[in-house]
Structure 1
Amino acid sequence: MAYKHGVYVQEQATSLVPPVNVEGCVPVVIGTAPIHLASKPAKVNKPVLCYSYAEAVEQLGYSDDWKSYTLCEAMYTAFSLYGVAPIIFINVLDPAVHKEEVANEQVAVTKKVAVIEDAVILDTLKVTGLTVDVDYVVSRDDTGNTVITIDDDSSHVSDENVTVSYTKIKAKAVTKTDIIGGVDIETGANKGLEVLEDVFSVTSIVPGVLIAPGWSNIPEVAAVMATKVNRINGVFRGITFVDLDTISVKKYSDVPAWKNKHNYTSEDQYVLWPRCYVGDKVFHMSSHAIGVNGVVLANNDDIPYESPSNKSIKIEGTCLYDGTEVVLNLTTANYLNGNGVATAINHIGGWKLWGDEMACYPANTDPKDRFLCVRMMFNWHRQTFIRTYFNKVDGPLRRRNLDTIVNSERVRLNGLVAQEVLIAGDISFTADENPTTSLIDGVVKFHQKLTPPVPMRDIEEVIEFDPTAYESLFS
């Protein structure tokens, strides 16, 4: 040791660790995109993080054909109607796979312009007998059609038809198998719902809510969605907003039987029925639910302690798949809620999302499982704890490190209680939960108790006629 003479100061790491700021419930949307219309197309089966509508269109393209391109519905709803961000998209439509060849098609030319009303992959387009950028130029119109404009100096300027060959996107070739996905045998890359495992690695954002409009009404897809969100990256947990079928299920009274028959009963599923509309646009309710939930989160510092139920939903009505109007009143909507299904009603104050219960209700009445906002709070706490203390992994098992975690958590929990985000919360490290056999194996266990506020789903008043008031007439 060097010789010292004087006064010296050393610094020691603070014994309190500030929590990591985590996003409340960032939505992940899986489906199909018109990737051929994107100016900077994103890779297929990769998480695409978008903070604006323009950014999403640039990387994924946009089309009003929501039945073919399901990501566009969520894109429009989240950004245009609710203004919530960010959104993470996963596109499974692969132009190299989901395609069809078109050969020698005759297209009429009107005023030197030929329009192909198809999902043309531009770099595959060939015009027989003509040279691109010499005889013609190619562009897109506002609806995504391919426009061939004959040059004034071309010898074909007077042609009434052109013969074209091209490769086109075949969105209908995408099936539930593509959505469910798996692992590519040759490359080891994740596909479909397996890409959920890549979201945190690519974006540093933990998936909060998973939706698949146009696909989650397929029981097999919904089941896999629930499985995948239950243990993301082996440690995190999310939830799914799923839509029930509105083709075969046309009456509210038939919903519970269909729901139970097809096993939409998970504590990780928030089930919605029917569909909804704005003007001539028909939506899946899950697309609107992430918008409503996003607005509530934004108003609460991204802490998901408040239910999105009874909050404004930007729709004009509810309907079936074919647009047939569905009229629900408070009684019929509550019947759905009582069977673990959320919906929308126009009761007091305009249209509202209506329902607090997860799909597991009424079979499971545990508050942490049955109530949407409580389930989200537990998920939010889980990811906060993991991300805050992950750097403690492989540190020495000593009292100071244990106290740092306990003390830091108590400060955080006390702050949440002061905000009334929690009713109560505490953490402990006890001998009975940490036997020597576990400690010498490097395993330590903390025990936390959380009490998020449950939604006041039923407010009641008792009123009675008071005949004694007539005594005042004689005083």
Structure 2
Amino acid sequence: MPHGSRVFEEPTSPGTPAVVSGIVPVVFGTAPINLVEGIENVNKPIKCESFTDFKKQFGYSNDWNNYTLCEVADAAFVQFEVAPFVFVNVLDPEVHKKEVTQETLTIENHKATLKNVGVLKKSLKLIANNSELKKDIDYIASFNEDGLVTIAFLTAQTAVTAEYDVLDPSLVTSSDIIGGYDVDTGKSSGLECINKVFPRLRLVPSLILAPKFALDPVVAAVMRAKAKSVNTYLKAFALTDVDTSKTNVFTDVFSWKSDNGFTGELEGVCWPLVAKKGKVYHLSTHLACNILKVCILNKNYPYESASNKIIPIDKIVVKNGDKYEEVELEPNQAEILNDQGIVTALNFVNGFVTWGNYTAAYPNVTDVKDKFHATRLMHNFISNTIVLKTWEKLDGPIRRRFVDEIVDEMNMWMNGLQGEGAVIGGRVEARAEDNPNEQLVNGKVVFRYFVAEPTPGQVIENILQVDTSYYDKIFN
């Protein structure tokens, strides 16, 4: 390299996202990892706190249909500027690939560009005069801004053909997203990686997403199952979407949700899609970002609903074949969706907002902790925090001091939640009737927690009537 001092410019950063600890979304999908060869982020939970961070770990492409994690990265780090997000890429370059042979290069000014995106550079072979050219001696290969490989020839060449492998995201199936645990290798894949998040990153998974893939009822069912039991002791909340080709608000959407079992207490179902400047997002992606954004405003406690909170979009759309058609929902239509446990988007008084408080279980389930997103998320937060706070007390000697320490510490924590407005009230009790001698001699202690989370004020009723006495003021 020539002698001297230089400046290399990077694209302008969209900003440093605010970091949320109370809500951590975990997203499963595909990424253009060929752009970051040498970083093997396949079936590993990776925490990202910025767009730059995501591109460094996974690469980036505007082809969101093939690379679904990029949709969430754009929404989180560019549109909403919230973090952290945990991403799990299931696209394996050793498995999900295809071979390209005998591509004839067009060479101009000692340069050529390969035709296909997703090139795995380590597989690239350039052939000239029946001999393989040598990397870094005969040529240099690098990615351009469009994700295509550009060849710069260091030696004079006129007729060159290329052979290489490319990523093939179409080979990724619902089975790859579902994943599992391989007894022989001891490795997890797909949604099973949710159990690797806390041990690996010390972050409690709060939201589970798999945009596009969650339309598969089997994938959604596994997401719901994982939400009920993360690392055996913790709980999360799955965000899914109704098939957006279903356009009849009054029949198709409701029947699809019900027929396919999208009715979990630990699930939020969204419909339809949303768009901004031609980019189309799953509504579940924007709902996840909005939940984080509201958390930031509430000192990282997820007690306030994300409903009626602004989202950065310019239209609501549904899919019609290969095209997208705009939808203009009226408030009464949005209300009908909400009453069937579906979150939607609405453009009314405040501009475009996420709209709806009910979980997917509503209207069949009406328990306050299970019917509202906000109360369910706060209940999960309290439950998970109880596990984490009391875990260090495990295996201590059972005596009065042991019981009093836990009661006092957890009551102080509950009082803190009340002071922050995160709960209306809460307390912890250790009752004698819950702890008989035969239980204590076996090393078990039971504590009771009582809590009331604030519910979303989704109905404001104002009564208006004429008071004729005011007419007396006209002449008196």
- TM-score, normalised with respect to structure 2: 0.92
Stretches of structure 2 lacking an aligned partner (at least 5 in a row): 1-19
Mapping of 1:68-467 within 5 angstroms? 68-118=66-116, 119-129=118-128, 130-151=133-154, 153-154=155-156, 156=157, 159=158, 161-247=159-245, 249-253=246-250, 254-321=252-319, 322-467=323-468
The CA deviation string for residues 28-49 of structure 1, in whole angstroms up to 9 with x for no partner, is 0100111101265243101101
What is the CA–CA distance in structure 1 between the aligned matches of 2:238 and 2:38, rounded to whole Å? 29
Asked which structure has the greater CA Rg, the reply is 1
Question: Distance in 1 between the 2:474 and 2:143 partners?
Answer: 84
Question: 1:47: which partner in 2?
Answer: 45
Look up the equivalent residue of 1:251 and give its one-letter code.
N
Q: Which segment drifts farther, 309-318 or 182-191?
A: 182-191
Task: Determine the C-alpha separation between the residues in 2 that align with 1:374 and 1:27.
Answer: 17
Give the equivalent residue in structure 2 for 1:470.
Answer: 471
Amino acid at match of 1:29: V
Question: In the alignment, is the contact (CA less than 8 A) between 1:276 and 1:285 conserved in 2?
Answer: yes
Q: CA offsets per residue over residues 390-417 of structure 1, 9 Å max, x none?
A: 1110111111110111111212212222
SS of residue in 1 equivalent to 2:304 = coil
Q: Which residue of structure 2 lines up, in the alignment, with residue 13 of structure 1?
A: none
Partner of 1:8: none
Q: Distance in 1 between matches of 2:254 and 2:459?
A: 21
- Partner of 2:64 in structure 1? 66
Q: CA deviation at 1:473?
A: 4.6
Measured against aligned partners, the alpha-carbon deviations of 1:122-179 in whole angstroms (never above 9, x if no partner) come to 011001123322322111110110111223x42x1xx2x5211111111110000000
Give SS of 1:392's match. Answer: coil
Matched-pair contact (CA < 8 Å) for 1:40–1:59: no
Distance 2:411 2:266 in 1: 28
SS in 1 for 2:137: coil
How far 1:443 moved relative to its partner?
A: 1.3
Tell me, in whole angstroms, the C-alpha distance in 1 between the residues paired with 2:106 and 2:439: 77
Letter in 1 for 2:142: S
Q: What is the Cα deviation at residue 219 of structure 1?
A: 0.9
| Cα separation, 2, equivalents of 1:353 and 1:314 | 10
Return 5+ residue gaps in structure 1 as ranges.
1-21
Aligned-pair CA distance for 1:62: 0.6
Distance 1:460 1:40 in 2: 60
CA contact (8 A) 1:42 1:48 kept: no
Q: Give the distance between the partners of 1:465 and 1:40, measured in 2 at CA.
A: 74
Q: TM-score, normalised by structure 1?
A: 0.92
> AA paired with 1:149?
A
Give the distance between the partners of 2:37 and 2:49, measured in 1 at CA: 17
Equivalent position of 2:10 in the other structure: none
Greater relative contact order, per chain length (Cα 8 Å cut-off, separation 6+): 1
- Say whether the 8 Å CA contact 1:409–1:427 is kept in structure 2: yes
Identical amino acids, percent of aligned pairs:
38
Verify the 8 A CA contact 2:41 2:58 in the aligned structure 1: no
Count of aligned pairs:
449
Residues 275 and 283 of structure 1 are in contact (CA less than 8 Å); yes or no, is this contact kept in structure 2?
A: yes
**SS of the counterpart of 1:121?**
strand
Q: CA RMSD, aligned part only?
A: 1.5
Task: Choose between structure 1 and 2: higher strand proportion.
Answer: 2
